[in-house]
Chain A
Amino acid sequence: MVKGESALTKLFLMSLQVRLVVVKKVLEHRIGVGMEELDDYLHCYRFVPETLLSMIGYYVDEADPDPESLDEVAGEVDGFLWNFAETGSIAPDVFLSLFKVMMLQDLQRSMSKDKTRGKNLPAIFISVIFLDASHPCSIKLHQMKNESVLPICPILEFISTKATISKNACQTSATCFSGQMAQ
Chain B
Amino acid sequence: MTKSIPLLSSSQAIYLPRPRFNVFTPTHLQAFSTFSNSWVQCGISGGVEGFSAIADFCYLLKPNFTLENVAPIRAAAEFLGVTEVLECSKKFLYVNVFVQWQASISFLQHYRRLSSPVDEYVETRCLKVIVAACAKAFGETKYLTAPILFLANRTPENNHHRHTTSSQCQTLTEILVHMSSLPDAYASEAIEALVDAKVNLNLKCRQSRNVRSWLNSLIDNDCQTDRARCWVVLCLSRMLIKSAPAIRPWMELSSQYWCTLLEHVDHLVTMVDEVMKVAHLLQNPSSSSSSSSASSSLSTGQAPSV
Q: Are A17 and B263 neighbours in the complex by a CB distance under 8 Å?
A: no
**B64-119 at interface with A (beta carbon < 8 Å):** none
Q: Are B270 and A38 neighbours in the complex by a CB distance under 8 Å?
A: no
Interface string of B258-275 (1 = CB under 8 A from A): 111111011111101101
**B282-306 at interface with A (beta carbon < 8 Å):** 282-283, 303-304, 306
Q: Are A17 and B269 neighbours in the complex by a CB distance under 8 Å?
A: yes
- Using C-beta atoms within 8 Å of the partner chain, give the interface range for chain A: 20 to 34
Interface string of B237-270 (1 = CB under 8 A from A): 1100100100011111101101111110111111
**Given A40-B255, A45-B259, A34:B249 Cβ within 8 A:** yes
Is B14 part of the contact surface with A, judged by Cβ < 8 Å? no
Q: Are B279 and A20 neighbours in the complex by a CB distance under 8 Å?
A: no
Give the residues in chain A near B217, CB-CB below 8 Å.
none
- Quick one: closest B residue to A48, CB to CB? B266
Whole-angstrom distance from the CB of A93 to the nearest CB of chain B? 17
Give the residues in chain A near B273, CB-CB below 8 Å.
17
Whole-angstrom distance from the CB of A157 to the nearest CB of chain B? 31
Give the residues in chain B near A9, CB-CB below 8 Å.
279, 303-304
**Given A13-B272, A13-B306, A20:B244 Cβ within 8 A:** no
Q: Give which listed residue, A6, A19, A28, A33, contacts B262 with CB less than 8 A.
A: A28
Interface string of A41-55 (1 = CB under 8 A from B): 010011110010000
Give the residues in chain A near B275, CB-CB below 8 Å.
13
Q: Are B256 and A40 neighbours in the complex by a CB distance under 8 Å?
A: yes
Q: Are A16 and B272 neighbours in the complex by a CB distance under 8 Å?
A: yes
Q: Are B276 and A27 neighbours in the complex by a CB distance under 8 Å?
A: no
Whole-angstrom distance from the CB of B297 to the nearest CB of chain A? 13
Whole-angstrom distance from the CB of A4 to the nearest CB of chain B? 13
**Given A30-B244, A40-B256, A45:B276 Cβ within 8 A:** no
Is A144 part of the contact surface with B, judged by Cβ < 8 Å? no
